[in-house]
Amino acid sequence: MPVISAPHAFNEGDLFVDLASICGHPLYLKCEAFNFAGSIKLKAANEMVESAERDGILTADSVLVESSSGNLGVALSMIAASKGYRFLCVTDSRCNLSTRLLMEALGSEVHIVADQDGNGGFLGKRIDYVRSLCASDDRYVWLSQYTNAGNWLAHYRTTAPEIARRFPDLDVLFVGAGTTGTLMGCARYFGEWSRPVRIVAVDAVGSVAFGGEPGRRMIPGLGMSMRPPLLDESLVDEVIKVEEPDTIRMCHRMARSGFLFGGSTGTVVSGATDWLSRHGSPDLTAVAIAPDLGERYLDTIYQTNWLHDLYGDDVLDPDVGGAVQTQTPVREPKSASRAPPRRRTST
């Protein structure tokens, strides 16, 4: 094991779980939560902070501010504490209590937005609040995960190559869609790779990231109440949307085998399992990305009263599953006869 002096210096990137016995289909799950921030968001947070430091945007007097549903806020809280910055996370009422307490334990300030925006989400109001802070005091530095190229570049440089090294015969990759940083970084990397890889984005029903009608979303993480500015749909082959009860059932299904994963992971695995039931084959190499673990969801997804109040008493009944919504593929399926990959250039 390495010896480190800063928490962001450690991030296990080569752990995969074989979910075939749980999902009934060949599927490998890349686990991204084994670091001191507890989620995949550490990669984007570290890339964005270091970029701001290189550009001279962050100084000793700066106050970092970011809109986050939880995991990025924790990652930035950890990095800010390590580097000596002040940090204010602007979140909303869906943020798990344990996540808010964790940010505060790391010395960060948390502001909770209660008003919804026009799409029935909180994101617009959160961003409005961040902008008002930045306008009021130039010490505030907003990294803006929604527009910051470092968000996707982190995964182009790390997440995608980690998958490619372990699975050189990769056929299909399932990636959850929130800000789409992970999705875009992986899609760009594999779009330049030596073999065709089908990129399937997994979104939450009620999200408007890829269009469609807005709806209630109670599980933080995936989904957006606006179109993600980082999103380039030409890099995505297919989009599937998962109902929250199916996310919950998949989380409990994995927990019954000893794997306690978070809501974002449950959504991705549920969507991947449905896709594989329709398109999979024994010789297909499929990988899904797990952004988080389940400890921060103990008072929501894994709490019976919370589940029954929001989704009904039969939410955990395996026979009451909803159909995963499949959108028209954004582009034609890749084939082995496509043009050779573009040469990579430094970014």
Q: Domain limits of the chain? A: 7-35+151-326, 41-142
Residue written as token pair 């803006």: 144
Cα distances (angstroms) measured from residue 281 to each of 27, 52, 276, 284, 285: 11, 45, 8, 5, 9
Instruction: Check for a shared fold between 7-35+151-326 and 41-142.
Output: yes
- Element holding 102 (H helix, E strand): helix 97-105
Question: How would you label 81-118 residue by residue, b for 16+ Cβ within 10 Å and e otherwise?
Answer: bbbebbbbbbbbebbbebbbebbeebebebeebeebbe
Helix axes 244-255 and 263-279, enclosed angle (nearest 10)? 100
Rounded to whole angstroms, the Cα distance separating 250 from 84 reads 39
User: What is this structure's pTM?
Assistant: 0.91
DSSP 3-state percent helix, strand, coil across the chain (nearest 5): 40, 15, 45
One-letter amino acid for residue 257 of the chain: S
Q: Which CATH class is domain 7-35+151-326?
A: alpha beta
CATH of domain 41-142: 3.40.50.1100
Pairing of β 140-142 and β 238-242: unpaired
Nearest to 289 by CA among 149, 167, 132, 150: 167
pLDDT tens for each residue of 173-207: 999 999 999 999 999 999 999 999 999 999 999 99
Q: Which of 58-72, 152-166, 329-343 has the lowest mean pLDDT?
A: 329-343
Q: Which of 70-79, 151-160, 297-306, 337-346 has the lowest mean pLDDT?
A: 337-346
Rounded to whole angstroms, the Cα distance separating 338 from 197 reads 11
Strand order across the 16-18 sheet? 16-18, 28-31, 286-290, 172-176, 198-204, 238-242, 325-326
One-letter amino acid for residue 24 of the chain: G
Determine the 3-state secondary structure of 287 from DSSP: strand
SS (H, E, C) 157-194: HHHHHHHHHHCCCCCEEEEECCCCHHHHHHHHHHHCCC
The residue with greater pLDDT, 102 or 329, is 102
